[in-house]
Amino acid sequence: MGALEGKRALITGAASGIGRATAILFGEEGASIVLADVDRSGGQATAAEIEAAGGKAVFVECDVTRTDDCARAAALAAERLGGIDILVNAAGVVIRRSVLELEEDEWDRVLDVNAKSVYLMSRHCIPRMGAGDSIINLGSGWGLVGGPKAVAYCASKGAVVLMTKAMAIDHGAQGIRVNCLCPGDTDTQMLRREARQLGVAEAEFLRQAALRPLGRIGTPREIAQAAVFLASDASSYMTGATLLVDGGGLAGG
């Protein structure tokens, strides 16, 4: 049996990157999954891959910055899966700008996708959850320390770290665990988009990102493995915690 056998999960940002890898690995570990994302083609492809491997997955087109969409995704998960045992808030976006460079609508976009979505989706899922259930919020190493030309991203991920702690306090009496998973630089298209935003050659950007004790960037599956741990009974006494998975990038910070 897999670590998540019989569990029912709702995962945002599941069409690509860490969200996609998490959905696939959750399927391998025995979970049934609702995948929520604005990217219909990517989300449907992820669901098809999970089902082709013998898992159960349903895609729902969802803008995680809109309360109606989040309510619909939570209701669909409860209806199609019979309940929600695990919520993974993995939807995210990055815009590499300083305060002076960042436009107001860009600030709003980053804070809405990265932080407001955690509030909205949790608000609609928690009433359907209970003792033994788990929420995993995707933070970042840059939610723990600052980074250059990333003021909105750092603000949003710092918010997620502290939202996680507050949620753990509020919902511990219900037996709902809430933890924050903070990846370091991970091999995703979002990471490569950062290079383009900064006007840096992709190869050089990735070389610099690998300058950490393990000498490389992470893979989405490695982050997903940590998510499986936080979703499973192996972490049954963890709540309000921040799990840093970054190849040692912040070890000296």
Q: Catalytic residue positions?
A: 153
- By DSSP bridging, strand 242-245 and strand 134-138 are unpaired
CA atoms of 116 and 189, how far apart (whole Å):
22
Matching residue, tokens 């670590």: 3
Q: What order do you get walking across the sheet with 32-37 strand by strand?
A: 56-61, 32-37, 8-12, 86-89, 134-138, 177-183, 242-245
CA atoms of 123 and 60, how far apart (whole Å):
18
CA atoms of 240 and 226, how far apart (whole Å):
15
CA atoms of 185 and 140, how far apart (whole Å):
9
Q: Residue 98 corresponds to which tokens in the numbers above?
A: 């300083």
